[in-house]
Chain A
Amino acid sequence: MFSFFVIPFCLGVVALLVISILKYYHWIKQFDRKQQALVRRNILSWKFVPALWEMFRECLLHWRITKHHVLLGYMHRSLAFGWFLLIVVGFVQAMVAYPEGHHFYVAIFFNYFEPRSTVSGSAAMPFLAHLMDALLLYVFSGLTLAILKRFWSKPLGMKRTTRHNLTDRVAKGALWCIFPLRLLAEGATASIYGNGGFLVLAMGRLMQQIGMADPIVEYQFWMLYSLALGIFFTLMPFTRYMHIFTEVFLIYFRKMGLRDSNTKSGYTLFELSACSRCGICIDGCPINRELNITDIQGVYLLKAIRNKDVYNRIEDISKMCMVCGRCSTECPVGIDLEPIRRQVRAEHVKEIDRTEGYQYLKSVHSFNAVGRVAYFGGCMSHLTPSITHAMEQIFEAAGQSYWHMDGEGTLCCGRPLMQQGLVKQAEELRNLNRRIIKKSNATMLVTSCPICYQTFLHDYKLDIPVLHHSQYIDMLIQRGKIKIEPSGKRVTYHDPCELGRGCGVYEEPRHVVAAAATLLPTQEERAKSLCCGFNLGNTSIDSNQQTPIRDAALRNLLDPNPDLIATACPMCKKALTHANRVAVEDIAEIVAKQIKK
């Protein structure tokens, strides 16, 4: 069983397999030591089971996209799951028809090679043919939505879509052609033999009526279908469609515990190709929403790195970002964009990343704080002394002895340096701070600044508990160490990026606010909260660009008409206080005022 039209398809499949295997081999070889060790340890572990479930849920059903927007999820699901089932049922058809075995392409071009199956084949054949047609219809519904999205994306929940380059567009064209061409090819066969399910048969009748029931026409449609498949498969490894297979691997590696390191590794290469360039990261980005800068979002960063764009362009893209983390929480593939951005930034600042500057911090003495809580206000709390003062009151009310670690001079936690890719300098600063904390023998570290909290929690690896003051106050209230009298004020709470999306602390500050006042919900909160515009992640933004971002966050907070805005970050407080008719207070201040004496 052979016809010349199967050649483009077969060549495409061979090209896809060879190039993909070479690429994956090349990437796996670039895993760093830690990643290699994790793969070796976990490759045959039970982690395969949850990975398999996630692969099914995300690669085929597109569950996270569905949660983002139902119709958009339906579009992706119908194309991915629909096509997958078409292939599977196609193989079932071929297996039923040829129990003794067949060439693999027979399953793809089944109706051509076995035109009499629905008429004289086994009893299951008509059912399978109808099923195939139903699946094709399912794919068509997704295809229609995809074409609609190309011209009018709003009904699918997207204000902006990604701008693709030429190869991506050619591959997309080939993909869009595959399914109509399949229907036409099967219809042409049906016009001669009268086979196929409800859809194909109807198509066949139509083609018969307009005089297309001709073996030459039939052959040409099958050739076009095969060509579309061949072109798509050949282009796949070089376009965004590489995500189809790469996401499967990425999910497995992530389940094994692999994460991005400070330099570009094999895992990063998998992440780069797992990005489907769906563009969901664009709409949430504050730089897009408020400044209309639409070429720096996660999708364009990954695209620029993968396509090896001009050095300066990658630098500009990587720098113009607030590091608010909104894109990473919305990414349906779960790509962590912050470390990738940091890698690019580090590449561009490696000449100035030298460690000789912070020797002066060696003169900072530690303090014997046995049995005390070490309180780290953070740099910004020096500009908002009301927060540290409120914390001191709370410590005293709870009868907890404390040591204000950065009360005299400001020590930086190192995260601002880390965000800029100054990795070595950040490490030096961390080592100096770690020494001070260890020497003090404090029982717990409480910090008022979410930026510090994030790095103390994730990068310091301290052997004492690290708490943000919202968590600490929540703990004091629950243990009855402090009693609070609710004030009755109506309060909206602003989620700081670093605390919410960065560390997943959403509930504790809300408990605290709800204990001291009446908490009002806002439109965009928790993981969808808006950046205050003053996040330290961006050193190339100007203040006139920061203010629109801040104003958007304020509009959201002022919408329920509150008496007071609460936040849990000295930086956000400072940012939101300016140009605002409603007072802004840190949750520590709110609590300190309401403590029952």
Chain B
Amino acid sequence: MNRFGFQISTARSIDLDRADAKLRQRLLEAVPSYRYCIGCGGCTATCSAGAFTDFNIRKTHFLFSRGEVDKLSPTPMPDVDLNKCMLCGKCTLVCPRGVNTRGLIMQMRQLLVNKQS
């Protein structure tokens, strides 16, 4: 179960030398509306998969666009977490900024698989 809320985040830093900015660039080219995301987390709050698991879209797309792809998955399969998405589309409907979140997920999965192969 994903406990969505305002918990205190632990301190962390992004290693810019290891971050892969290309992925964000490709994602923005494929899903231009991702530019408008304000990180409100509405998508995560409504997520059908998030009701059963700790799947968190906001966290996933943040990690992805920061290039911290290795933190996305505990297994060698990079999109194993995104695989939980059922594409039901609730996230797209609640997004206040009109981000095409389903397209975002499909693209992230494709990019992660492409990157690995």
Q: Are B33 and A352 in contact (CB under 8 A)?
A: no
In the complex, chain A residues 371-405 whose Cβ is within 8 Å of any chain B Cβ:
379-380, 382-383
A188 interface residue, CB < 8 Å from B?
A: no
| Given A358-B84, A360-B52, A360-B53, A349 contacting B110 (CB threshold 8 A) | yes
In the complex, chain B residues 82-101 whose Cβ is within 8 Å of any chain A Cβ:
82-90, 93-95, 98-100
Report Cα–Cα, A543/B89, bound state, in Å. 13
Q: Are A410 and B51 in contact (CB under 8 A)?
A: yes
Could you say which residues of chain B place their CB within 8 Å of the CB of A356? 77, 80, 83
Q: Are A536 and B87 in contact (CB under 8 A)?
A: yes
Listed stretches A75-83, A277-285, A412-420, A477-485; interface member? A412-420
A429 interface residue, CB < 8 Å from B?
A: yes
Report Cα–Cα, A344/B99, bound state, in Å. 25
B117 interface residue, CB < 8 Å from A?
A: yes
B103 interface residue, CB < 8 Å from A?
A: yes
Q: Are B100 and A541 in contact (CB under 8 A)?
A: yes
Report Cα–Cα, A543/B33, bound state, in Å. 8
Q: Are A574 and B106 in contact (CB under 8 A)?
A: no
Report Cα–Cα, A420/B106, bound state, in Å. 9
Report Cα–Cα, A542/B97, bound state, in Å. 11
Shortest CB-to-CB span from B59 to chain A, Å, is 16
Q: Are B86 and A416 in contact (CB under 8 A)?
A: yes
A534 interface residue, CB < 8 Å from B?
A: yes
Task: Name A364's closest neighbour in chain B (CB-CB).
Answer: B52
Could you say which residues of chain A place their CB within 8 Å of the CB of B100? 539-543
Task: Name A544's closest neighbour in chain B (CB-CB).
Answer: B98
Shortest CB-to-CB span from B70 to chain A, Å, is 19
Q: Are B94 and A383 in contact (CB under 8 A)?
A: yes
The number of inter-chain residue pairs (CB within 8 angstroms) is 100
B109 interface residue, CB < 8 Å from A?
A: yes
Cβ-defined partner of B93 (8 Å) among A352, A363, A574: A574
| Given A383-B94, A410-B48, A534-B93, A357 contacting B85 (CB threshold 8 A) | yes
| Given A357-B80, A380-B93, A540-B100, A352 contacting B86 (CB threshold 8 A) | no
B68 interface residue, CB < 8 Å from A?
A: no
Q: Are B87 and A420 in contact (CB under 8 A)?
A: yes
A354 interface residue, CB < 8 Å from B?
A: yes
Q: Are B80 and A361 in contact (CB under 8 A)?
A: no
A211 interface residue, CB < 8 Å from B?
A: no
What size tier do the contact residues of chain B reach? 20 to 34
Q: Are B84 and A383 in contact (CB under 8 A)?
A: no
A235 interface residue, CB < 8 Å from B?
A: no
Could you say which residues of chain B place their CB within 8 Å of the CB of A534? 93
- Select the residue from A349, A351, A356 with max chain B CB neighbours within 10 A: A351
Q: Are B88 and A352 in contact (CB under 8 A)?
A: no
Could you say which residues of chain A place their CB within 8 Å of the CB of B51? 409-410
Shortest CB-to-CB span from A422 to chain B, Å, is 7
| Given A379-B89, A410-B90, A420-B106, A542 contacting B32 (CB threshold 8 A) | yes
Q: How many residues of A contact B (CB 8 A)?
A: 36
Task: Name A354's closest neighbour in chain B (CB-CB).
Answer: B83
Q: Are B86 and A409 in contact (CB under 8 A)?
A: no
Per-residue CB proximity of A536-566 to B under 8 Å, as 1/0? 1001111110000000000000000000000
Could you say which residues of chain A place their CB within 8 Å of the CB of B83? 354, 356-358, 425
Task: Name A425's closest neighbour in chain B (CB-CB).
Answer: B83
| Given A540-B100, A543-B100, A417 contacting B86 (CB threshold 8 A) | yes
Q: Are A363 and B52 in contact (CB under 8 A)?
A: yes
Q: Are B87 and A416 in contact (CB under 8 A)?
A: yes
Q: Are B52 and A379 in contact (CB under 8 A)?
A: no
Q: Are B80 and A422 in contact (CB under 8 A)?
A: no
B113 interface residue, CB < 8 Å from A?
A: yes
- Select the residue from B51, B77, B82, B89 with max chain A CB neighbours within 10 A: B89
B102 interface residue, CB < 8 Å from A?
A: yes
Per-residue CB proximity of B47-63 to A under 8 Å, as 1/0? 01101110000000000
Shortest CB-to-CB span from B26 to chain A, Å, is 14
Cβ-defined partner of B103 (8 Å) among A360, A383, A540: A540
Cβ-defined partner of A382 (8 Å) among B80, B90, B109, B110: B90
Could you say which residues of chain A place their CB within 8 Å of the CB of B84? 357-358, 360
Q: Are B79 and A352 in contact (CB under 8 A)?
A: yes
In the complex, chain A residues 405-462 whose Cβ is within 8 Å of any chain B Cβ:
409-412, 414, 416-417, 420, 422, 425, 429
Report Cα–Cα, A354/B109, bound state, in Å. 11
Report Cα–Cα, A167/B3, bound state, in Å. 61
Shortest CB-to-CB span from A379 to chain B, Å, is 4
Could you say which residues of chain A place their CB within 8 Å of the CB of B103? 539-541
Report Cα–Cα, A349/B87, bound state, in Å. 14
Task: Name B89's closest neighbour in chain A (CB-CB).
Answer: A536
Q: Are B98 and A352 in contact (CB under 8 A)?
A: no
| Given A360-B52, A543-B98, A416 contacting B80 (CB threshold 8 A) | no
Binding site for B on A (CB under 8 A): 349, 351-352, 354, 356-358, 360-361, 363-364, 379-380, 382-383, 409-412, 414, 416-417, 420, 422, 425, 429, 534, 536, 539-544, 571, 574
Known: A380-B88, A543-B95. 12 other contacts (CB 8 A): A357-B83, A357-B84, A358-B86, A409-B48, A410-B88, A417-B86, A422-B87, A534-B93, A536-B87, A543-B98, A544-B33, A571-B89
* 20 CB < 8 A contacts A-B: A349-B106, A351-B110, A354-B83, A364-B52, A379-B90, A382-B90, A383-B93, A383-B94, A410-B51, A410-B88, A411-B48, A416-B88, A416-B89, A417-B87, A425-B83, A534-B93, A536-B89, A539-B102, A539-B106, A542-B98
Top 8 A-B residue pairs of the complex, sorted by shortest distance between their CB atoms: A357-B83, A543-B98, A412-B86, A410-B48, A379-B88, A416-B87, A539-B103, A412-B88
